[in-house]
Amino acid sequence: MMRTRPLKVALLGCGVVGSEVARIMTTHADDLTARIGAPVELAGVAVRRPSKVREGIDPALITTDATALLKRGDIDVAIEVIGGIEPARTLITTAFENGISVVSANKALLAQDGAALHAAAETHGLDLYYEAAVAGAIPLVRPMRESLAGDKINRVMGIVNGTTNFILDKMDSTGAGYQEALDEATALGYAEADPTADVEGYDAAAKAAILAGIAFHTRVRLDDVYREGMTEVSAADFASAKRMGCTIKLLAILERAADGQSVTARVHPAMIPLSHPLASVREAYNAVFVEAEAAGRLMFYGPGAGGAPTASAVLGDLVAVCRNKLAQATGPGESAYTQLPVSPMGDVVTRYHISLDVADKPGVLAQVATTFAEHGVSIDTVRQQGKDGEASLVVVTHRAPDAALSGTVEALRKLDTVRGVASIMRVEGE
Of the residues 8, 170, 207, 325, which is catalytic?
A: 207
146 pLDDT band (50/70/90 cuts)? very high
The whole-number average pLDDT for the span 85-91 is 97
Rounded CA-CA distance 202/85 in Å is 14
How many other β-carbons are positioned within 10 Å of the β-carbon of residue 288? 27
pLDDT score recorded for residue 389? 62
Statement: residue 1 has pLDDT above 80: no
- pLDDT, one tens digit per residue, over 167-216 is 999 999 999 999 999 999 999 888 889 999 999 999 999 999 999 999 99
Statement: residue 353 has pLDDT above 90: yes
3-state secondary structure of 416: coil
Mean pLDDT of all residues belonging to the chain: 94
242 pLDDT band (50/70/90 cuts)? very high
pLDDT score recorded for residue 386? 67
Spell out where 209-260 has E strands. 226-227, 246-256
Of 175-189, 271-285, 373-387, which gets the smallest average pLDDT?
373-387
Spell out where 296-342 has E strands. 296-303
Rounded CA-CA distance 46/49 in Å is 9
What is the β-pairing status of strands 349-359 and 390-397? Answer: antiparallel
CB 13 within 8 A of CB 46: yes
pLDDT score recorded for residue 135? 87
pLDDT score recorded for residue 98? 98
pLDDT score recorded for residue 345? 97
Rounded CA-CA distance 206/278 in Å is 20
Q: Give the rounded percent of residues in the chain with a pLDDT score beyond 70.
A: 98
The whole-number average pLDDT for the span 351-358 is 94
Statement: residue 361 has pLDDT above 90: no
- Candidates 397, 393, 398; CA nearest to 420 is 393
The whole-number average pLDDT for the span 59-72 is 97
Statement: residue 357 has pLDDT above 80: yes
- pLDDT, one tens digit per residue, over 300-323 is 999 887 889 999 999 999 999 999
- Candidates 278, 288, 203, 285; CA nearest to 254 is 288
pLDDT score recorded for residue 429? 85
pLDDT score recorded for residue 177? 94
3-state secondary structure of 190: coil
Please give the DSSP secondary-structure letter assigned to residue 144. I
Helices (H) and strands (E) in the chain, counts: 15, 17
Rounded CA-CA distance 172/115 in Å is 39
pLDDT score recorded for residue 388? 62
- Candidates 132, 129, 161, 156; CA nearest to 24 is 132
The whole-number average pLDDT for the span 270-299 is 96
Active site residue 207: yes
- pLDDT, one tens digit per residue, over 263-272 is 999 999 999 9
Statement: residue 333 has pLDDT above 80: yes
pLDDT score recorded for residue 137? 87
Contacts of 187 (CB under 8 A, 6+ apart): none
Task: Report the half-sphere exposure of 39 (CA within 13 A, side-chain side).
Answer: 7
pLDDT score recorded for residue 74? 97
Rounded CA-CA distance 384/399 in Å is 21
Statement: residue 387 has pLDDT above 70: no
Rounded CA-CA distance 42/77 in Å is 10
pLDDT score recorded for residue 360? 84
The whole-number average pLDDT for the span 35-39 is 96
Q: Which residues pair with 301 in a beta bridge?
A: 287
CA distance to 114, 139, 294, 342, per residue, from 339 (Å): 15, 26, 22, 9
CB 136 within 8 A of CB 304: yes
Determine if the peptide bond prior to 87 is cis (ω within 30°). yes
